[in-house]
Structure 1
């Protein structure tokens, strides 16, 4: 067997092992989360306040583990060039209406403002709308974590510049230092500040977002002065 064949065989074994591990880790979470929901809805009898708090803690951590496993699976797919994309026409206006519907009320209940800053005209692009939404969800989730509970503000919008469409997600959070920005899109990288260290995450969301954007033919970058908020940009040719 040639060296090339050996490497191909090793890669195949690694792929199969990774797929098996992530599947086996995710499978037990389905009934755990399912039973938590049933218990929360008191479908199996009355629950007192202390028991309810315990159930919510179990469910929260099970969902965190589920997110981590999903992120690991997506990273593996991107690394092996096996993530599937379905390209179709997407109305930007409809896309932002759905974003506003998902986030505006939820964030208002947390004391944070969600703003859509978009032109009056619509535009259509060719993209994978599910994967693009995944990128936005990652970036908005990141912004939510680092904006203040009081007067927190997250703005999403888009603009046309020449033959490019540029999306942006802006927050008024604690910002990211110039030094940290250089490594921000690396897998498992987390900004090492006392304020950010308190906030949990997989450290994979931005790496996945970068991988998806690049597979869709675009680029992603960040701007921040390290003090007064952060802006993430996603750009595609049109």
Structure 2
């Protein structure tokens, strides 16, 4: 759920809860009103009190009408007094009192209004009712009912029921305060619940992201950020976790590159030191007159030239490897008949093998597939692998042969030799730069140790893969794959989909 929708739902929830609460309170009040009529419970429910006022008013009207005869005959009789006492108890429940006027004299008043008789204005006998007759004393007392009748002696006799509005206002204020407290508590409670869930779903994930950013700031990338939710903050958490993984990978890659750089510097320094010392020693021999004959001088000059050429090749391979890393080497891919191309490479490289009294052959298949490759870069791969086979050849008669197999959209080329082989523990590292099975590098075999690394980068750029199999003491087989030219066009495939078996 998105944050926007979550906020909208919280707003709707607050509104609905408030409305529901008001409806409930209204329903509760109405129930209390109906239940409290006639029960005398008017101090806690002003609505109930008003209902009782009108109910008592109706009861009073009926009772007065019935009692008119008693008052007419003898208002001072025991029956009239008893009637007023019972009347008083009913009126007290609704904060009201009774006034009785005989002609212009007040002959009876309830205790609740006795102290304010002089302030109360009473309508005249049989005076038509007007709106201002509701309040009879500065809006403190409200006239509920007026009953006028004549006594037997012709006297004008009036009975008034008066309500003390101050008590009504106090009850209303008390109930209003109670309702306000209940509503405020309900709103605060609802707000607290919604705030808690909003804090749990928004603030806490943000705090976790803040802590994660602090960890990254301190250089710690060895932690993980679990998905929070499916909203924008959850998406932010996923993006943050992806960033952390990328930073960690970049850091590992940087550390690897730094280690490789240090190894490259150390290895180049070591590998260049040997030919440089040789060149320097032979030059000193010439200067010191050790090469005192034309034959010795020519021999010294040949050695100097050979060592300088080795240095040139080594520097060139390092430069090529760096350019391949940076993607600054351009490839010119073409459709190549692979059998014809391998025949060309065999013819070109046979001379170097024959100088060692060895053989270089190609087991040509019946059909010749067409592959997509850069002829110049591919020739370097053949040269590097066959040259390496000759360098580490320990047999008197070197034997190198090339095989070709087809498999789906790829062709697999194998270059096999009967040399000394590679130790099993060294096989995973032979395509690393400057790697040699002889870790001390004190070997008489010349070379930079990055020929196979360059070959791997070239084959990888072709969309293929390269690997080796070897039995130490009996020979090595180097394999690499190339994409075939298909009749319905070329397709991109993953490098490792070819079965190395």
Question: Which TM bucket (shorter chain)?
Answer: 0.7 to 0.9
Q: Describe the shift of the 1:160–1:140 C-alpha distance in structure 2 as closer, same or farther (beyond 3 A).
A: same
| Residue equivalent to 2:450 | 204
Q: Distance in 1 between matches of 2:447 and 2:351?
A: 23
Q: Distance in 2 between matches of 1:186 and 1:141?
A: 17
Q: Describe the shift of the 1:145–1:196 C-alpha distance in structure 2 as closer, same or farther (beyond 3 A).
A: farther
Moved more, 85-94 or 132-141: 85-94
Residue 201 of structure 1 and its aligned partner are, at CA, apart by 1.1
Tell me the secondary structure at the aligned position of residue 197 of structure 1. Answer: coil
* Residue 346 of structure 2 corresponds to residue 100 of structure 1: yes
TM-score (norm 1): 0.75
Residue 150 of structure 1 and its aligned partner are, at CA, apart by 1.3
Residue 196 of structure 1 and its aligned partner are, at CA, apart by 8.8
Q: Describe the shift of the 1:189–1:55 C-alpha distance in structure 2 as closer, same or farther (beyond 3 A).
A: same
* Residue 300 of structure 2 corresponds to residue 54 of structure 1: yes
Within the candidate set 45, 60, 71, 2:317 is matched to 71
The CA RMSD over aligned residues, in Å, is 2.0
Pairing 1:16-55 to 2, within 5 Å after superposition: 48-55=294-301
TM-score (norm 2): 0.37
Contact 1:187 1:207 in 2 (8 A): yes
Question: Could you say which structure has the larger radius of gyration?
Answer: 2
- Give CA-to-partner distance per residue, 1:164-191, whole Å, 9 cap, x none: 2011111101101111011111111111
Residue 145 of structure 1 and its aligned partner are, at CA, apart by 0.8
Within the candidate set 155, 158, 163, 2:404 is matched to 158
| Residue equivalent to 2:418 | 172
Contact 2:363 2:401 in 1 (8 A): yes
Contact 1:185 1:210 in 2 (8 A): yes
- Give CA-to-partner distance per residue, 1:175-214, whole Å, 9 cap, x none: 0111101111111111127999221210110111101110
Q: Distance in 2 between matches of 1:77 and 1:156?
A: 29
- Give CA-to-partner distance per residue, 1:10-41, whole Å, 9 cap, x none: xxxxxxxxxxxxxxxxxxxxxxxxxxxxxxxx
| Residue equivalent to 2:126 | none
Which has the larger share of helix? 2
| Residue equivalent to 1:24 | none
| Residue equivalent to 1:23 | none
Q: Describe the shift of the 1:218–1:178 C-alpha distance in structure 2 as closer, same or farther (beyond 3 A).
A: same
Tell me the secondary structure at the aligned position of residue 472 of structure 2. Answer: coil
- Give CA-to-partner distance per residue, 1:113-135, whole Å, 9 cap, x none: 11112213322211111001111
Within the candidate set 210, 215, 228, 2:474 is matched to 228
Q: Describe the shift of the 1:193–1:69 C-alpha distance in structure 2 as closer, same or farther (beyond 3 A).
A: closer
Q: Distance in 1 between matches of 2:441 and 2:351?
A: 26
Q: Describe the shift of the 1:65–1:195 C-alpha distance in structure 2 as closer, same or farther (beyond 3 A).
A: closer
Aligned residue-pair number: 192
